[in-house]
A and B are shown apart, each in its own frame.
Chain A
Amino acid sequence: MSVSQAIDFEIDKGDFHYDTEYDYDAGTGLNEATVDYISEVKGEDPWIREFRQNALQVFNKKPMPTHWATKDLDNIDFNKIRYYLSKGQTPSRTWEEVPDDVKNTFERLGIPEQERKFLAGVEAQFDSEAAYSRMKEDLEKEGVIFVGSTEGLREHPELFRKWFGKVIPTTDNKFSALNSAVFSGGSFIYVPPGVKVKQPLQAYFRINAENFGQFERTLIIADEGAEVTYMEGCTAPKFETTTLHSAVVELVALKGAKIQYITVQNWSNNVFNLVTKRARAEEEAEVKWIDCNIGSRLTMKYPGVILKGRKARGEVLSIALASEGQHQDTGAKMIHAADETSSNIIAKSISVGTGRSSYRGIVHIPKNLKNCKNNTECDALLINNNSRTDTYPAISVRGDGNSVQHEASVSKVSAEQIFYMRQRGLSEAQAMSLSVNGFVNDLVRQFPMEYSVELKRLIEMEMEGSVG
């Protein structure tokens, strides 16, 4: 791969430039040499390299799922993508080159000065080492492990190798296979039995180009009776030069454990965000996915829980905002595999302008199980006459004593409601954003406060845009 070839790829947004000094790199396109290079740079054990190569084979064999998913997927050119960014190749631009609307969003959301440069692609690293190392000390005292995927597999194979690739096998889908071949970054967390981690663990503490990267791999194991909350993403728009993000997140909640996983996604509008997230909950364990999708060109994400042990509980709370030209294709999967398990799905979506939101849900309760319960509620709000929403629920319930409840609604913001609010002095934009914020209010309240405040402001901004 020559220097000029490497630089000449899909930069279609803003002005970005690369440092010219760097070592040999994997370049664009994906083949066995790319995978070998990644494994080499990370100094991985042979079993991991083998795992990656095997995954590459699976990826190459699987077709694109366009028979059920959007044909927009065909626009991904796998040959043009850079699968691994080594140091010294991180792109940058000056603050002056950052578009005004990006700067305005930072202002409106109240993003701290130092973070703006990182998010806008002006700086490649956000130095939060200090905060991270303090937290690391506290965690170490309790025996909690919180490291990156590379370090996790290298330093703690006995813990992580056991579950790595077991909740989401390589063959699960084309993009889990891709991730399994080229993964880099992401968090590996282990919480010992009975330990309840008080502070939420944040991906943010470990920011660098890798961790906010394209192919993160996260694995969280909560041992018996342990409790942990993990937060990733941010409401501020994250500029990306690359167009494909394909993360894999595996959660394991052993007996009586609780895991809460909170994501706020606001990638820029050129990104294909194709994520596989799944949890395995053992006896009396609880897993809760709280997911908010605001950005990206196309997001496909269906957080799931396999309820493997008796009385296990799974929940997915999801908010999706599809603005002009976006498609949020999200949902949930609840697979009941033991008696007395329960699951709850609440999905709210908002479609603005030509934005399109889709809900896909699987609820599966086989005939040999008893006393299982599922509750699903999916509500869609269409703002404009050309907005679109689709719902594809797949519910399969058999057996005795199991119950499933499914409610769905589609609504427009009522003109009379807007008039009522305007009569009190609110402008049309203010009335719209109050109405929309009201629609998602009970879900937004479940996010940590710093997210919920920012989320409300983001929705206000989107609504102003839709009305004007």
Chain B
Amino acid sequence: METLQIQNLNVSIDSKPILKDFSLTIPKGEVHALMGPNGTGKSTLAKVLSGHPDYEVTSGSVLLNGQEILGMEPDEISHSGLFLAFQYPLEIPGVSIANFIRAAIESRLDEEETLDAPAYYRDLYTQMDMLQIDRKFTSRSLNEGFSGGEKKRAEILQMAMLKPACCILDETDSGLDIDALKIVAAGVNHMRSPKRSSLIITHYQRLLDYIVPDTVHVMWDGRIVKSGDKDLALELEDKGYDWVKEELAACA
């Protein structure tokens, strides 16, 4: 069973079609990259997969470990094992990182279960150290006053604590300097495992130097138009997206 199987997904917003017969399969344990110019629907895909209410899904199916997640509430999708690292993480004033992640973990427990607090904090500090987030940040309000790099690392921290089956990273590299990029990449690589899959949505090839993908897909006009191995990303960098458009035009 694949981790993520998207079949013929059609999505509109305000009756304007954005995803057109979009299909993508990510086998267990693999990391796939999704690249493409602005406006092709990459972020829309991320939002739809996580259950954002603003988008109309007109047809198609999304199976997460064999379970249909289209139509599920965002928190149900989260409990089913999907995590979205936001492109623009939201600030939550007055809610500390420690308490927020704790609430997220507790939402997954059964009625009678309680969180093992010492184990929680041990895990939290381990992950924070690895992501080079100062331990003092546990009491900071989530994302409030954080720099771009700190916000992105906080996303990866949450991902590391929630241990999802399927990670979707939406332009995680935007706004990051090279050092922050390396730290984020190390965090994501550390989470690679045979049971876990990831979808890395990005414009730029740079991140893929550090998180080497198994497959690269190129998106254009609401669907995937070309797939290849990691060298495809290098070719794109070299030739630009116009190259893909020309190839498509030639085929049509």
List residues of A whose CB falls within 8 A of some B CB: 414, 416-417, 419-428, 430, 434-435, 437-442
A424 adjacent to B95 (CB under 8 Å): no
A416-B90, A434-B92, A441-B95 given; A423·B84 CB < 8 A: yes
Give 10 A-B contacts (CB < 8 Å), ordered by A residue: A422-B74, A423-B50, A423-B78, A425-B107, A426-B103, A427-B107, A430-B107, A435-B92, A435-B95, A437-B94
Which chain B residues border A426 with CB–CB below 8 Å?
A: 75, 103-104, 107
Contact check, B74 vs A440: say whether CB atoms are below 8 A apart: no
Other A-B pairs, 11, CB within 8 Å; known A425-B108, A438-B93:
A420-B86, A420-B92, A423-B75, A423-B78, A423-B83, A423-B86, A424-B100, A424-B158, A424-B162, A434-B95, A435-B92
How many Å from the CB of A26 to the closest CB on chain B? 48
Indicate whether A425 sits within 8 Å of B86 (C-beta atoms), given known contacts A430-B107, A438-B93, A439-B93.
Answer: no
Q: For residue B107, which residue of chain A has the nearest CB?
A: A425
B125: min CB distance to chain A, Å: 20
For B143, the closest partner residue in chain A by CB is A420
Residues of A within 8 A of B107 (CB): 424-427, 430
B93 to chain A: which residues have CB within 8 Å? 438-439, 441
B73 within 8 A of A: yes
> Are B78 and A422 touching (Cβ within 8 A)?
yes
Flag if B78 contacts A424 (CB, 8 Å): yes
Q: Residue of A at shortest CB range from B144? A: A438
Cβ–Cβ < 8 Å partners of B52 in chain A: 419
The 9 closest A-B pairs by CB, nearest first: A438-B94, A441-B94, A422-B74, A425-B78, A424-B104, A420-B90, A425-B107, A438-B95, A422-B75
* B89 interface contact, C-beta 8 A: yes
Chain B minimum-CB-distance residue to A440:
B94
Q: Is B196 positioned at the interface, with any CB of A under 8 Å from its CB?
A: no
A417 lies within 8 A of B75 (CB): no
Closest approach, in angstroms, between the C-beta of B225 and any C-beta of chain A? 28
> When the two chains form the complex, which single residue of A417, A430, A437 contacts B90, counting CB atoms closer than 8 Å?
A417
Question: Which residues of the partner chain B approach A442 to less than 8 Å between Cβ atoms?
Answer: 94
Residue of A nearest to B168 (CB): A423
- Interchain CA distance A426-B73 in the complex, whole Å: 10
Minimum CB–CB distance for B37 against chain A, Å? 24
Contacting pair A438 B78 (CB below 8 A): no
* A427 & B75 in contact (Cβ 8 Å cutoff): yes
Q: Which residue of B lies closest to A437 (CB)?
A: B94
Complex alpha-carbon distance, A420 and B58, angstroms: 24
Q: With the chains together, A423 CA to B72 CA distance in Å?
A: 12
Hey, which chain B residues are within 8 Å of A438, CB to CB? 92-95, 141
**Distance of A422 Cα from B89 Cα, bound (Å):** 13
Interface residues on B, range: 20 to 34
- What chain B residues lie within 8 Å of A435 (beta carbons)? 92, 95
Chain B proximity of A252: nearest CB distance (Å): 35
How far, in whole Å, are A147 and B95 apart by their CA atoms in the complex?
Answer: 41
Give CA–CA (A428, B93) in the complex, Å. 17
Q: With A and B bound together, what is the CA distance between A440 and B93 in angstroms?
A: 9
* Given known A-B contacts A430-B103, A434-B95, A437-B95, A422 and B90 have beta carbons under 8 A apart: no
Residue contact A414 to B90, C-beta cutoff 8 Å? yes
Asked whether any CB of chain A lies closer than 8 Å to the CB of B203, the reply is no
Contact with A along B80-106 (1 / 0, CB 8 A): 000110100111111100001001110
Q: Is B140 engaged at the interface, CB distance under 8 Å to the other chain?
A: no
Assembled-state Cα–Cα distance A433/B117 (Å): 22
A205 to B242, CA, bound (A): 79
- Interface residues in B185-224 (C-beta closer than 8 Å to A): none
Q: Are B92 and A425 in contact (CB under 8 A)?
A: no
Interface flag for B182 (CB, 8 Å): no
Contact indicator A434/B103 (Cβ below 8 Å): yes
B79 within 8 Å of A (CB atoms): yes
Residues from chain B with a CB closer than 8 A to the CB of A424 are: 78, 100, 104, 107, 158, 162
Hey, which chain A residues are within 8 Å of B50, CB to CB? 423
Knowing A419-B52, A438-B141 touch, does A425 contact B94 (C-beta < 8 A)? Answer: no
**A422–B73 touching, CB < 8 Å:** yes
Expressed in whole angstroms, the Cα–Cα distance for A434 and B50 within the complex equals 20
A423 engages B95 (CB within 8 Å):
no
Which of B74, B104, B107, B158 has most A Cβ within 10 Å? B74
Knowing A423-B84, A441-B94, the reply to whether A434 touches B100 (Cβ < 8 A) is: yes
Contacts of B162 in A (CB 8 A): 424-425
Cβ of B84: which chain A residues have Cβ within 8 Å of it? 423
With the chains together, A437 CA to B100 CA distance in Å? 12
Q: How far is the CB of A438 from chain B (nearest CB, A)?
A: 3
| B85 to A: closest C-beta gap in Å | 10
Please name all residues of chain A whose beta carbon is closer than 8 Å to the beta carbon of B158 when the two chains form the complex.
Answer: 424
Distance in angstroms from B87 CB to nearest chain A CB is 11
Assembled-state Cα–Cα distance A423/B83 (Å): 7
B31-68 vs A, Cβ < 8 Å mask (1 yes, 0 no): 00000000000000000001111000000000000000
How distant is A301 from chain B, measured CB to nearest CB, in Å?
Answer: 24
Contact B92 A421 (CB under 8 A): yes
The minimal Cβ–Cβ distance linking B201 to chain A, given in whole angstroms, is: 15
Instruction: Kindly list chain A residues whose C-beta atoms are within 8 Å of the C-beta of B108.
Output: 425
Tell me the smallest distance from the CB of A455 to a CB of chain B, in Å: 13
Expressed in whole angstroms, the Cα–Cα distance for A435 and B142 within the complex equals 11
Bound complex: CA A416 to CA B91 (Å): 10
How distant is the Cα of A437 from the Cα of B94 in the complex, in angstroms? 7
For the complex, give the distance between the alpha carbons of A417 and B83 in Å.
16
In the assembled complex, the Cα of A272 lies from the Cα of B105 at a distance in Å of 43
Q: Closest CB of chain B to A104's CB: distance in Å?
A: 17
Q: Within the assembled complex, what's the spacing in Å between the Cα atoms of A420 and B94?
A: 15
Q: How far is the CA of A426 from the CA of B100 in the complex (A)?
A: 10
